[in-house]
Amino acid sequence: MKEKILSHAKINVFLYVTSKREDGFHNLYSLMTRISLCDDIIVEHGRNGISISCDHPDVPEDESNLAYKAADLFYTSLPEPDINPDRGNGIAVTIVKRIPPGGGLGGGSSNAACVLACLNRKFNYPFSDQDLMRLGLKLGADVPFFLFGSPAIATGVGEKLEKIPCLKPYFLVLCDPGISACTADVYKNMDYRLTLTPKYYKNTGLNVLLREQETDVKNLAHNDLEESACSLYPEIGQTKEQMERALGRKVFMTGSGASLFALFADRSNAVRGFEKLAEKWEGTGKNVFLSSFEQE
């Protein structure tokens, strides 16, 4: 039996780093939402073992792939030991990759979440939603968000999630500058003196705003990691400046980089911006996407 699943990307509309933890990770305060840009995940059940294939040269097809790790973790965590992937209960996963790897859009985490949710359905929900999110956290800080299924305020390392009722819909012009940013290096290079965290994170008015029935995020976009990423990878900053000149509006980085986005309330303006950049950067290695917020 085969099934096809849409594996959506995400953006961090804003991302504040609130503190460094004793375990070496960082506490965050972030607004995250899925966007329409997605990979296709094709799962074939009833196989012997676990296998991964992907059409992107930079995505591993072995045990290091997050989708593989998700399947392996699911099987080893099952309370029913008789469900063994090597005895006809395994899966073959094919990933049709559209989300740029290493771009801060959560593609690998989204793929892993899709595999966890798919296997949980297949075996009649042996794990509750909360249990599945706890499993996902073992794979990466963004995986619980993709299992959560709603725009959310994320705190902790990203695992503490509060549902946001409704975001005002926006279209995005999204750019992959053609490079991958190393998350660990971006955090290590960060200068805490330059963050705006105290101003916003301690502002309870922002929390109230985000809990309203419809939240306009136009003026909330921000990323504490942007300056660090741009200093390590000048191409990000250069691409950001080029986008802002071409689109006539502010551009922001998502996650730890390297992908950049601009928000548009009107689809026709977003389409014009997308077409302008696509023509400008044709053949340069920069990839441009037209996308939109996904509410559920």
- Half-sphere CA count of 77, side-chain side, radius 13 A: 21
Three-class HEC string of 149-180 = CCCEEEEECCCEEEECCCECCCEEEEEECCCC
DSSP the chain: -EEEEEEEEEEEEEEEEEEE-TTS-EEEEEEEEEEEEEEEEEEEEEESSEEEEES-TTS--STTSHHHHHHHHHHHH-S-TT--GGGTTEEEEEEE--SPTTSSS-HHHHHHHHHHHHHHHHTT--S-HHHHHHHHHHH-TTHHHHHH-S-EEEEETTTEEEE-S-BPP-EEEEEE-S----HHHHHHT--GGG--HHHHHT-HHHHHHHTSSSB--TTT-EETTHHHHHHH-HHHHHHHHHHHHHHTS--EE-TTSS-EEEEESSHHHHHHHHHHHHHHTTTSS-EEEEEEEE--
CA 81 remoteness from chain centre:
32
For residues 18 and 30, the answer to whether their CB atoms sit within 8 Å is no
The residues carrying an active-site annotation are 10, 142
